Amino acid sequence: MHILVTNDDGVTAPGLAALAQAMRALGRVTVVAPDHNWSASGHVKTMHKPLRVKKAALADGAEALATDGAPSDCVALAFLGVVPDKIDMVVSGINPFANMSHDVTYSGTVMAAMEGAIARVPAVAVSVDGAATAGYETAAWAAARVVSRVAERGLPPYTLLNVNVPRVAVSDVKGFRITRQGLRVYRDALVERADPRGVPYYWIGGEAPTGMPDEGTDFAALADGYVSVTPLRLDLTAYDLLEPLREWTL
């Protein structure tokens, strides 16, 4: 199995090195990652300018390729030929701070995995709750568990798995839960300031968003000490609205 590993925090992020190490136990690993941080960058396809690809080193010194494109560009470039060998799976992470709920479309980590699903290979995004000050050991362990199962079982086309790991030691993990996306509670606030010339500028600030720990959700799994595994699909169609909308007689 040939696993493409990427992230949205950049090629030198410790979470990327931890993920690549864990994946090497399961197969051959190629890392193609951004040369700088792309957090909250969403799903990007860079077409208006050329992209560079250069050799780089992970935080542990292992070989990698770095690009000046977004996380999803890294995956697209790999499939378009920057990585000449066939890729069997895409794994993205390990992102510090969970990527949960119905706003994962902001997440460079999840959108990099989605680019793998668009390329029709199984894809997994991995994030750890909080700032990962306790390290990436638990998330790397959980990623290996999930990825080895995906390798055995496969995933339907155009789907991916979004894995979020609690910030506890491996021995304290309660288990794995298959979850649905919960609802975010935003706490963004606008900071307005004046620059040295008196011209106003704005900064999107406020506290980090939390979420509703409703039963069955990603938020509830983490709150209860479980690893959350959420299957996502590329098809955003709200099927339950098709019939009601047909009665609108547009």
Letters for 128-157 (x = contact with a copy of itself by CB under 8 A, - = none) are -----------------xx--x---x-xx-
Q: Which stretch binds a copy of itself (CB under 8 A): 1-9, 22-30, 126-134, 225-233?
A: 225-233
Q: Which stretch binds a copy of itself (CB under 8 A): 2-10, 15-23, 164-172, 202-210?
A: 202-210
- Among residues 61 and 115, whose Cβ is nearest to a copy of itself? 115
φ, ψ (nearest 5 deg) of residue 177: -125, 135
Q: Rule CB under 8 A: say whether 40 interacts with a copy of itself.
A: yes
Nearest distance from C-beta of residue 75 to a copy of itself, angstroms: 12
- Among residues 61 and 243, whose Cβ is nearest to a copy of itself? 243
Q: Which stretch binds a copy of itself (CB under 8 A): 10-18, 22-30, 88-96, 203-211?
A: 203-211
Among the listed residues 74, 91, 83, the one whose alpha carbon sits nearest the alpha carbon of residue 23: 91
Please work out, in degrees rounded to the nearest 5, the angle formed at the alpha carbon of residue 152 by the alpha carbons of 24 and 31: 30
Strand 63-67 relative to strand 53-57: parallel, antiparallel, unpaired? antiparallel
- Among residues 133 and 242, whose Cβ is nearest to a copy of itself? 242
Q: Rule CB under 8 A: say whether 88 interacts with a copy of itself.
A: no
Nearest distance from C-beta of residue 18 to a copy of itself, angstroms: 19
- Among residues 43 and 61, whose Cβ is nearest to a copy of itself? 43
Residue in the block written with tokens 């991916």 = 160
Do 169 and 87 meet the contact criterion of CB atoms below 8 Å apart? no
What Cα–Cα distance (Å) separates residue 65 from each residue in 30, 36, 78? 8, 12, 10
What Cα–Cα distance (Å) separates residue 180 from each residue in 133, 195, 232, 241? 27, 44, 9, 19
